[in-house]
Structure 1
């Protein structure tokens, strides 16, 4: 089944770009990033920016993360995939990350949400931009929430707008 990523959520002055691989089925059905109720993304970002995003409408979540210098997008523009697992991605067509990142003049770091995003995207990021691979926020990745959160906060907090 052919699946496609969402448009990027960003402000042209963002400092931090978080890249996933390709939205899962729950997110695609909802039409929003990280919509699966067990995905740790929004609880982690809530701790990162010290604002509870988990009960807010997605449009408000996006506005608040942009105010903190955070952008979201996916590495894979479209691909064939049955189900939601990254391991099932076939024939991926990638977003034009290199060009896009060069246009974001304040971008300091690209954070890959999981190994698959890094596998497909790491070579597309300009060399002068720091890259970090974070543990996947997906419920399929069984690392504890506290471990995921600690790593995300340690790596990303220095790059937020204050």
Structure 2
């Protein structure tokens, strides 16, 4: 098992109000043109397209939308080894957390609201930042979270994300 390093810096627009924190990129996301949540089966961008009723095909379009909405993105893990060659969070051996970058973001934007893409991420965030309380957990965009339909995930995200 080789150690993988996160291929992306956190995305922090100047108007940030919300930070969405995920776990770690899928195994094919270091490729050119791939950005956060670009694993083929991950539903994140389908959910966001449903929330904002926009078709998002490029990284630039995604970044422009999130900048206009004050939404940033980062992941909780900086370095990991992948067990069983899968994208499942439970198959990640965490080598290093992304706590330095996250700490800087939380210090620079103390009023920020942090949303997690899974309870796995929430658990680790709470261990790293036990005093930070402006948090909530989104329904997981993973296709493995099949107890909630895509339509219901979109509805829940709509309740939580800014709609200006």
Q: Normalising TM by the smaller chain, what interval?
A: 0.7 to 0.9
8 Å CA contact 1:49–1:68 kept in 2: the answer is no
Q: Deviation at 1:105?
A: 4.9
In structure 2, relative to structure 1, the CA distance for the partners of 1:101 and 1:45 (3 Å cut) is same
Q: Is 1:9 matched up with 2:14?
A: no
Match of 1:27 in 2: 29
8 Å CA contact 2:80–2:92 kept in 1: the answer is yes
Instruction: Specify which of 30, 35, 39 is matched with residue 36 of structure 1.
Output: 39
Q: Deviation at 1:129?
A: 4.7
Instruction: Specify which of 143, 146, 150 is matched with residue 142 of structure 1.
Output: 146
Q: Deviation at 1:37?
A: 2.7
User: Structure 1, residues 81-135: CA drift from partner, whole Å, max 9, x if none?
Assistant: 132110111133111223321212552x111001211121123347455111122
Distance 2:71 2:129 in 1: 16
User: How many equivalent residue pairs?
Assistant: 156
Name whichever of 123-132 and 13-22 sits farther off.
123-132
Match of 2:156 in 1: 151
In structure 2, relative to structure 1, the CA distance for the partners of 1:92 and 1:115 (3 Å cut) is farther
The normalised TM-score by structure 1 is 0.83
Q: Is 1:46 matched up with 2:59?
A: no
Match of 1:99 in 2: 104
Q: Deviation at 1:137?
A: 0.4
8 Å CA contact 1:98–1:124 kept in 2: the answer is no
Q: Deviation at 1:26?
A: 3.2
The gaps in structure 1 that reach 5 residues or longer are none
The normalised TM-score by structure 2 is 0.82
In structure 2, relative to structure 1, the CA distance for the partners of 1:161 and 1:150 (3 Å cut) is closer
Q: Give the ranges of 4+ consecutive aligned residues of structure 1 lying more than 6 Å apart after TM superposition.
A: none
8 Å CA contact 1:101–1:126 kept in 2: the answer is no
